[in-house]
Amino acid sequence: MSNPTLIHHTINFVKQQLEGAEGGHDWFHIQRVYNNALNIAQGEACDLLIVQLGALLHDVADSKFYNGDETIGPRVAREFLESHSVNGQTIAHVIAIIENISFKGGNFEKKFSSIELDIVQDADRLDAIGAIGIARTFNYGGFKNRPIYDPGIAPELNLTKDQYKASAAPTINHFYEKLLLLKDRMNTATGRKIAEGRHRYMEGFLAQFYAEWEGEL
Ligand code: ADP
Ligand code: NI
């Protein structure tokens, strides 16, 4: 099967897998991450097929929506790629991307590294910040029935992976626990540049939010 045909099949598979997904982790999230990844990849020497497959399959069965089970996503992706006779080396690399892409709180070292993972991770992180990031975050908070903001509950920096995952904190706290940390963790020059603009936009949003909370402006 040619690469364009494989990508076409992958897109259809992912759309079908994510039918009815939470609004921040649906097909449109994947589409934005895919486009971000193609954009970033233009500035890097990389294996484009691995970037494309990694971007398309990175959230195919997110553990958050499967009782924390981190094995389902890689397994679903592997079965799909094997059924399309993708070579073993490519499959192993795509699975490593899926297993290592995710932000797991402040204290998590990634064990695998490649330029293709760097690109897909930046592409995913860009979709977590800026206007889209704000929209996704409040959508997720609503999905989990969390308060928007509670001035009595401070953000927790330096969360371990398990604490980060178990957090039921107000949605505004997620800005401090994750979103505002991403700008300084970008891997690529293109990603870093785009992240800076999106970061400033979130800072402006927060300033306006607190001013309105106090009845100012
Ligand atoms: P990652 O794949 O980097 O672990 P997640 O899938 O956890 O990222 O998060 C993706 C997006 O989902 C976040 O950027 C945010 O918009 C939303 N989200 C995830 N966890 C939370 C949370 N605890 N509170 C609010 N939004 C969240
Ligand atoms: Ni994602």
CA distance readout (Å), 105 to 5, 165, 193:
37, 8, 23
- Residues 184-203, mean pLDDT to the nearest whole number: 98
80-117: per-residue pLDDT in tens? Answer: 999 999 999 999 999 999 999 986 645 556 689 999 99
**Residue matched to tokens 């970037």:** 51
User: How confident is the prediction for the chain on average, in pLDDT?
Assistant: 94
Q: What is the DSSP letter of 152?
A: T
Question: What whole-number distance in Å separates Cα of residue 27 and Cα of residue 52?
Answer: 14
CB atoms near residue 51 (< 10 Å): 26
46-68: per-residue pLDDT in tens? Answer: 999 999 999 999 999 888 888 88
Pocket of ligand 1 (CB under 6 A): 24, 62, 102-103, 128, 133, 136-137, 140-141, 167, 171, 174
Distance 211 CA to ligand 2 centre (A): 31
Q: Which atom of ligand 1 is nearest to the CA of 140?
A: 26
Indicate which ligand has the atom closest to the C-alpha of 64: 1
| Structure tokens, 56 | 């398309």
